[in-house]
Structure 1
Amino acid sequence: MIAAARAVLALALLAVLYALVASMVLLWAAFLAVALWSAGAPGVQTPPTSAIIACAAFAPIVFGMAWAVVRTARPSAPREDAVTVTRRGAPELWRMVEELALGVGTHPPAHIRLTAEVNASVTEDAPLLGLAPGRRVLYLGLPLLAGLSLAELRAVLAHELGHFSHRHNRFGAVAHRGAAGLVAARQAIQDVSAANDLVRLYAGGPLLLLGLYTYLFRWLTRPVRRRQELEADREAARVAGPGAVADALCSTEALGAAWQQFLAEFLAPMRRATGRIPDDPFRAFAHMVEAPELREPLATLRARAVEQPAGPDDAHPPLATRLERLARLPAAETGAVPLFARPLSVPPRYAIELGRILLPGPDAGRRVPWRDWLTELAEHRARRPLAPLAEAVRTVEEAERTGRPGTERTGRPEAERTAWRKAERAKAERPETEREPDALTIQRVLRLLDGGRRMPLARALNSRLPRGAQNESDPLRPLADALAVLIGAQLVSRGVAYWAMDWTGPSILVPPVGIAPETIHTWADTAVRLPGQTQLLGLHLAALGVDERAPLPTGPAGDAADGVVPRAPGGQPRLISIVPGATGPARRRITAVRALALTVLLGMAGLTFVLWANRDEPRYPGTPVSPWTDGHRPGGGTTGTTGGTVPAPLPTYLYPTAPVWPTPPAYRLPSPSLPGSDIKPLVPRSTP
């Protein structure tokens, strides 16, 4: 009952979100209409510039949120990072899925698509927020096929199909699309803020409100979705067995960590250093998880996965809770025999196609067969100490040439040291074109050991190694390891030895027949630690046909170990940047936001100017002024009653032309109280 109430409340919140977004669009449209109407109103002296800027500033955020909500509300398009598997291409996988669908009591999916994730999921591309039935799709991560056993794979597929049998996809689709809409709306605001400085001024408030809204929505839907996951676990346990489901859950968590480690520690460094990638990275990953040296680390990862709590945004319950519920269930029937008794596989073309999606573009690197890539990876990891060794050798030799204090040790006669310094000085004075390449050789290392420079060389090497490879208690140990690697590289270049991949440490040298693997390292360690043993090492190398003066050969990918910058296949240096760059979709979103803001700004500015320029002039009451009615012009005015022209007053257009002062009261004479008299006789007459 509580779960149903939470689901109804979550749907109500989702409906309120859509109503709020619709209200924002309507308010923006109303504001736009008012701004355009005011631009064409009579009497407006200047266009409404503030309204234009406000509409242009609010347009990206309004349309971005509306597009995010509409995009998540409609049925989602097929994922671009997935490869569709046909019945003809993988009949065994389809038969297994159909068998498990029949076991859980549901219809099989219409499509099966492979992804590069360590995950499996089911979707139903249904309209009306998933309330109406739609097309079912099963997404299966190819790393799961590479690392899970057959029983564990059956358990994973039965769990995902169990969501269909219990109709979890109806509420799950609504909850997923609602959360995706909220996340997309927040992402739209962040993209707009990155592309528009005006939006950045007020984007904090909408982001805060959407963050609170998203938290409330997930708080309501999380318990319902976790309950659905437990129901799917029970359905999978009924078909595949509780033990298989528990093993599948633990193995999936361990494979997720191993896949991330494969990408970060093996695939990406090899790609940056050599520019080469495997054509099928999933086969290389399968080779990794099947290695004997990884059994114990994978078991450790399985144990740690049980102890980790579930994330706040994770729809799955904690793994410990799921295992505890599975342990209470009865065991599966012994009569249930799976159809397939061997590991399931898909044709390599699907993995190669998915590998091109995982590492797209011409800048991804040169694709080589995955077995050859593993061989090159083993050699690349083995030769890593050689670049620091070359730098250390050059540093000690430079200090010896310049005669720095503390670099001269007794170990050779003074005459021999003087002759060597003269030869080095003459070599340095040669023209640049006649100098020999300053490549790392075994002879250069042995000469420093004979001259008593083992400790300066060891300290210089330790200072250039990564922090985890340094050995402060025994500084000669890294030097002996590096010398053994240098000898092994010469043996591999002659084709009498090879490097074997070790996924937990440095690669292992497989020496020629008749020599134990640790023999080469014992020779190098003896020559480094005991004075005078370099000649014995030289005899061993001569017996193997190794030339001490031969320069260090480059690896199969062209990466020299003497500090040379790796080059791309075209010969240009590979420029590696650590500055994070915007992805293609992010750049397209930012460009779209800028184009939308600019379009609205220019469109509104042009339309507003047209309305403002064509506005009507105001009309005022009164007699219009003309030469015939203007009395202040010659011939103008009106005709009076006694004849003549009466000047007409100046037009005022109903506005005062001077300050209006109060009119003083008119003075009137008092009424006469005396009788009037005739004064004509008193006026003197004019004389003729």
Structure 2
Amino acid sequence: MGTTLRALRALLLLAGFYLLGVLLLAVLAGADYLLFLHAPTSLAGKLIIVSVLLAIPLVRGLFMLRTPRDEEMAGLPVAEADEPELWRTVRELADEVGTAAPSRIVLTADVNAAVAEDARLLGLRPGARRLYLGVPLLQGLSQAQLRAVLAHELGHYSNSDTRLAALTVRGRAQVLRTIRHFEQRADNTAAREQAKQEKKNAKAEAKGKQAKEVDTGHAGITYRTMAKIYVGYAKLYFRATLSVSRRQEYAADIAAARIAGRDATASALREIPVLDGSFDFYMRCYATLGTDQEILPPRGEMFGGFGRMLSGRSLELVEMRGDLPTGPTSPYDSHPPIADRVRRIEELPDDGRADEARGAALDLLSDPRRTLTELEDAVLAEEVRGFRRTADWQELLDLVMAKSYRAGTTPLHRAYAEYTGEQPTLPVLLDLIEDGRLWQLAKRLPMSDEAAAAQGRVFREFVRPILHKSLKSMVMAELNARGLLRWEFSWERSAIPRLPRGADGGETDLDEVVAPVVADAPDTGALRELLAREPGGQGEHGGSREHGEPRAGSREHGESRESERGAV
């Protein structure tokens, strides 16, 4: 579909929104006229008031003619003097695509690349262009892959996609705004009706009468009916416009393959979902590890550490690249399924360009360290920038883990408090266990009805796992308080607790130390020996298996998030 036809289609769809509103207003006016002529005066008056209330959001929607301006993404604008190599690459690709280069490049903290244009006259006249480029893409892509990403985005410019987006955006915004008006009014009506019925029930109960069931199903039904009409139009609108958007994505992919090469484009499409999930994992389990305690990584490492994690977990990423998202795509998703896009590109003839520009995309930046530092200042909220900064990642982990073990919140803590009326300490708990009261204490643990009804050995088998886990957490907290525990930070795997080595110099396995304490015949000897060691016992720390408490790198990689308009 050519630019003119697409513009005409967008205008017709936008006009359809206003036409629908005019038709509904005409229906309401006609209904009011008939009511005035034929209905009793009291009934007609009430129904006319209802129609006026229905008309208000319709009229508001019709007169909200301003196209919503795109809010600029938070990021770091870079001038050509700041990043000459990046700008040179973008200009070179724009020439190859056959379009004008953007007038502004903004580096963001997202796994995303997107283009925008401040088009005029509903998108019929071009305007200033912006390119948004996520620094995590630079950290994870090769230069050839980045060229494919940039060629894809610039392809949207050459096809007038960004200019005509203004018409589409206006129509979507108007429909959604009107739907929200009706739904909000319906919810308010239902809330008032619920409050009215609850007040009535309260009076009835005060008089000794039985309260009626609160039923608000009829409240706001006229507003919801109007909303459903617009929801139906919205589905038509979205399906019509998004089918065009998906064809635009396919066309931009072909442009990228022509300019950057088939293999580079296909590999970039494979890499982006991996980077998206990895970055989400990194932000949750590394970068924001200490934000609840108002602690941040060193300057420049909030986003800089992502590159280190990618290197450390390279083997995991290899496995992830082969698993493209194959789930069903929403009919309103502007991007086709990534697996389908990759398949289309890989079916193109081999162009012999597999070995081009294999260097890291981050090398296009003049000073990556400076850029990563300045990006923090550009995107982090002011109060977050004021958090304490650690000297390195190990210090961040140490501080977070030290604080995370200070509060006793295990089931065993709660059971002990219920059993004795006091808050436990580990030495006191061990005294109680040695006194033969472990299984009486265990009866206060949360458990299923089946476990609570069990007796003897069967009961002990039911509660042993939760006892083991809770006691292990208490031991970790006690060791931490005594300076007998340290944590080993790692980019390759979850943080590992390190315990003092035993008298024979061997590594200490905490599970093996705790297991005898919760055995049928409890034995606290090994645990007491561990607690009696001096900090750094035998001068060195031994290893321990990974512990299930909060730590750097403790969750699985998530699935990729939805991209913004124009994003790869």
**TM surpasses 0.5:** yes
SS at match of 2:336: coil
Match of 2:268 among 228, 241, 248: 248
Contact 2:500–2:508 (8 Å) recurs in 1: no
Contact 1:498–1:511 (8 Å) recurs in 2: yes
Structure 1 residue 282 and structure 2 residue 303: aligned? yes
Sequence identity of aligned pairs in percent?
A: 30
Match of 1:165 among 158, 179, 182: 158
Alignment of structure 1 residues 372-411 onto 2, 5 Å: 376=396, 391-393=411-413, 395-396=415-416, 399=419
What is the one-letter code of the residue matched to 1:16?
Answer: G
Alignment of structure 1 residues 500-519 onto 2, 5 Å: 500=488, 507-512=495-500, 518-519=508-509
Match of 2:337 in 1: 318
Match of 1:353 in 2: 377
For 1:2 and 1:71, locate their aligned partners in 2 and report how far apart those are by CA, in whole Å: 23
For 1:267 and 1:335, locate their aligned partners in 2 and report how far apart those are by CA, in whole Å: 34
For 2:240 and 2:47, locate their aligned partners in 1 and report how far apart those are by CA, in whole Å: 42
Match of 1:665 in 2: none
For 1:139 and 1:341, locate their aligned partners in 2 and report how far apart those are by CA, in whole Å: 15
Contact 1:89–1:347 (8 Å) recurs in 2: no
Match of 2:148 in 1: 155
Alignment of structure 1 residues 537-548 onto 2, 5 Å: 537-545=527-535
Structure 1 residue 122 and structure 2 residue 130: aligned? no
Relative to structure 1, is the Cα distance of residues 489 and 71 closer, same or farther in structure 2, using a 3 angstrom cutoff?
A: same
What does the per-residue CA deviation read over 1:51-71, in whole Å, with 9 as the maximum and x for residues that have no partner? Answer: 89976774454224432x422
What does the per-residue CA deviation read over 1:281-330, in whole Å, with 9 as the maximum and x for residues that have no partner? Answer: 534555555543x853x566555543223221112222221111111222
Relative to structure 1, is the Cα distance of residues 64 and 383 closer, same or farther in structure 2, using a 3 angstrom cutoff?
A: same
What is the one-letter code of the residue matched to 1:94?
Answer: W
Match of 1:449 among 409, 433, 447: 433
Alignment of structure 1 residues 123-138 onto 2, 5 Å: 123-138=116-131
Aligned length in residues:
479
Contact 1:277–1:366 (8 Å) recurs in 2: no
Relative to structure 1, is the Cα distance of residues 300 and 336 closer, same or farther in structure 2, using a 3 angstrom cutoff?
A: closer
What is the one-letter code of the residue matched to 2:529?
Answer: L
Match of 2:67 among 66, 71, 95: 71
Contact 1:309–1:319 (8 Å) recurs in 2: no
What is the one-letter code of the residue matched to 1:135?
Answer: A
What does the per-residue CA deviation read over 1:112-151, in whole Å, with 9 as the maximum and x for residues that have no partner? Answer: 2344543221111101221211111112334434544544
For 2:389 and 2:21, locate their aligned partners in 1 and report how far apart those are by CA, in whole Å: 51
Match of 1:327 among 333, 346, 354: 346
Relative to structure 1, is the Cα distance of residues 24 and 270 closer, same or farther in structure 2, using a 3 angstrom cutoff?
A: farther
Match of 2:13 in 1: 13
Structure 1 residue 187 and structure 2 residue 180: aligned? yes
What is the one-letter code of the residue matched to 2:122?
Answer: L
For 1:193 and 1:269, locate their aligned partners in 2 and report how far apart those are by CA, in whole Å: 42
What does the per-residue CA deviation read over 1:408-458, in whole Å, with 9 as the maximum and x for residues that have no partner? Answer: xxxxxxxxxxxxxxxxxxxx8xxxxxxxxx665331232233233445556
Question: TM-score normalised to the size of structure 1?
Answer: 0.57
For 1:213 and 1:122, locate their aligned partners in 2 and report how far apart those are by CA, in whole Å: 28
For 2:353 and 2:221, locate their aligned partners in 1 and report how far apart those are by CA, in whole Å: 64
What is the one-letter code of the residue matched to 1:538?
Answer: R
Contact 1:96–1:339 (8 Å) recurs in 2: no
Match of 1:112 among 101, 105, 112: 105
Shift of 1:522: 3.3
Shift of 1:234: 1.6
For 1:289 and 1:54, locate their aligned partners in 2 and report how far apart those are by CA, in whole Å: 60
Structure 1 residue 62 and structure 2 residue 59: aligned? yes
Q: Give structure 2 stretches of 5+ with no counterpart.
A: 34-44, 193-218, 449-458, 538-549, 551-568
Q: Give structure 1 stretches of 5+ with no counterpart.
A: 35-47, 402-427, 429-437, 465-470, 548-560, 562-688
Shift of 1:161: 1.4
For 1:528 and 1:445, locate their aligned partners in 2 and report how far apart those are by CA, in whole Å: 12
For 2:507 and 2:89, locate their aligned partners in 1 and report how far apart those are by CA, in whole Å: 45
For 2:101 and 2:445, locate their aligned partners in 1 and report how far apart those are by CA, in whole Å: 61
SS at match of 1:70: coil
Contact 1:490–1:546 (8 Å) recurs in 2: no
SS at match of 1:130: coil
For 1:452 and 1:398, locate their aligned partners in 2 and report how far apart those are by CA, in whole Å: 18
Contact 2:142–2:360 (8 Å) recurs in 1: no
Contact 2:289–2:400 (8 Å) recurs in 1: no
What is the one-letter code of the residue matched to 2:488?
Answer: A
What is the one-letter code of the residue matched to 1:508?
Answer: I
Relative to structure 1, is the Cα distance of residues 52 and 319 closer, same or farther in structure 2, using a 3 angstrom cutoff?
A: closer
Which range moved further: 276-285 or 233-242? 276-285
For 2:460 and 2:255, locate their aligned partners in 1 and report how far apart those are by CA, in whole Å: 57
Match of 2:238 in 1: 218
What does the per-residue CA deviation read over 1:455-494, in whole Å, with 9 as the maximum and x for residues that have no partner? Answer: 5556756759xxxxxx996854554455454444444445
Match of 2:171 in 1: 178
Contact 2:139–2:360 (8 Å) recurs in 1: no
Contact 2:460–2:520 (8 Å) recurs in 1: no
Shift of 1:536: 4.0
What is the one-letter code of the residue matched to 2:528?
Answer: G
Relative to structure 1, is the Cα distance of residues 27 and 120 closer, same or farther in structure 2, using a 3 angstrom cutoff?
A: farther
SS at match of 1:253: helix
Contact 2:294–2:388 (8 Å) recurs in 1: no
Relative to structure 1, is the Cα distance of residues 178 and 304 closer, same or farther in structure 2, using a 3 angstrom cutoff?
A: farther
Relative to structure 1, is the Cα distance of residues 513 and 391 closer, same or farther in structure 2, using a 3 angstrom cutoff?
A: closer
What does the per-residue CA deviation read over 1:162-189, in whole Å, with 9 as the maximum and x for residues that have no partner? Answer: 2223333344443344334433343344
For 1:141 and 1:335, locate their aligned partners in 2 and report how far apart those are by CA, in whole Å: 24
What is the one-letter code of the residue matched to 1:441?
Answer: T
Shift of 1:375: 5.2
Match of 2:327 in 1: 308
Relative to structure 1, is the Cα distance of residues 388 and 61 closer, same or farther in structure 2, using a 3 angstrom cutoff?
A: farther
Match of 2:37 in 1: none
